[in-house]
């Protein structure tokens, strides 16, 4: 699998979380870095973008040699990078699943994507998505809608589908509710919901990256979208419960430990 995303030096999110997830689930992770960040569990202090041409060169180097059954994107914070990724996907005529995690808002609340990049994401990259996986703040940015209920989540998902994605997973962790509701809609009209009790924890750094990468890994192994969605949700829940407790803010997940539970938890 090829991951196209930014780097998190604290190891909780971004490329680091992606690679941990893919490896824990028995996949092979290749990576093209889109940005370097200065961040930890508390805040994002700085971002250094990688030139779009260099991102594209990384992607081509992997696809021309190692190959990829699935591509997953994460932090894409400027027009140059997004345009280069769109051009690369078009030129190589990539036929596998493309999972887009529209990383726009850090756990600290910092906006990570420029306005013009958001518009290009919507017009050019989202139509290539097999699945888009926004959390609620990201879904609000994509649609301009206020999301406060599960009904609002569904309205946002339907609006995003109109941008051309084949399916949208709106993650409901930010809802003011004791329940966690994740809603998956497809362009064919399928509707899948997972509802669980929220885990009372601060250790949620990288949950979005982990969810998208887990779905991508399962789909790369040949699972259908619904099955991959449910398996990824189960993996993330266990990874949160097994978090190591590092950092003073939103701590990282226990990816490796969760991976070891796969036989018992039902995702391997």
Write out the two tokens for 31: 């990576």
Question: How many angstroms separate the CA atoms of 1 and 18, rounded?
Answer: 10
Q: Tokens 């870095």 appear where?
A: 33
22 — phi, psi (to 5°)? -60, -45
Q: For 242, which DSSP code?
A: T
Range list of H helices, the chain = 14-24, 52-65, 79-92, 115-120, 136-143, 150-161, 207-220, 225-241, 255-259, 262-265
Question: DSSP label at 76?
Answer: -
Q: How far apart are CA 171 and CA 136, in angstroms?
A: 6
Q: Which residues are catalytic?
A: 171, 204, 206-209
- Alpha carbon 250 to its chain centroid, in Å, reads 17
């Amino acid at each position: 699998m090829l991951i196209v995303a930014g780097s998190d030096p604290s190891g909780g999110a971004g490329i680091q979380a992606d690679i941990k997830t893919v490896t824990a689930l028995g996949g092979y992770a290749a990576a093209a870095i889109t940005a370097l960040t200065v961040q930890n569990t508390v805040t994002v202090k700085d971002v250094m973008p990688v030139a779009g041409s260099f991102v594209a060169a990384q992607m081509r180097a992997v696809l021309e040699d190692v190959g990829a059954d699935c591509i997953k994107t994460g932090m894409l914070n400027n027009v140059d990078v997004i345009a280069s990724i769109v051009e690369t996907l078009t030129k190589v005529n990539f036929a596998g699943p493309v999972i887009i995690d529209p990383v726009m808002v850090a756990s600290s609340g910092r906006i990570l994507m420029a306005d013009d990049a958001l518009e290009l994401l919507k017009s050019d990259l989202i139509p290539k998505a097999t699945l888009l996986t926004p959390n609620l703040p990201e879904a609000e940015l994509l649609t301009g809608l206020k999301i406060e209920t599960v009904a609002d989540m569904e309205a946002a998902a339907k609006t995003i589908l109109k941008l051309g994605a084949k399916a949208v997973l709106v993650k409901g962790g930010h809802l003011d509710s004791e329940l966690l509701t994740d809603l998956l809609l497809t362009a064919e009209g399928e509707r899948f919901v997972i509802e669980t009790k929220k885990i009372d924890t601060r250790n949620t750094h990288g949950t979005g990256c982990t969810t998208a990468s887990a779905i991508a890994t399962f789909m790369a192994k040949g699972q259908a979208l619904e099955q991959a969605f449910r398996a990824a949700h189960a993996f993330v829940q266990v990874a949160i419960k097994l978090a190591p407790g590092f950092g003073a803010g939103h701590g990282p997940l226990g990816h490796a430990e969760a991976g070891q539970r796969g036989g018992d938890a039902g995702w391997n």
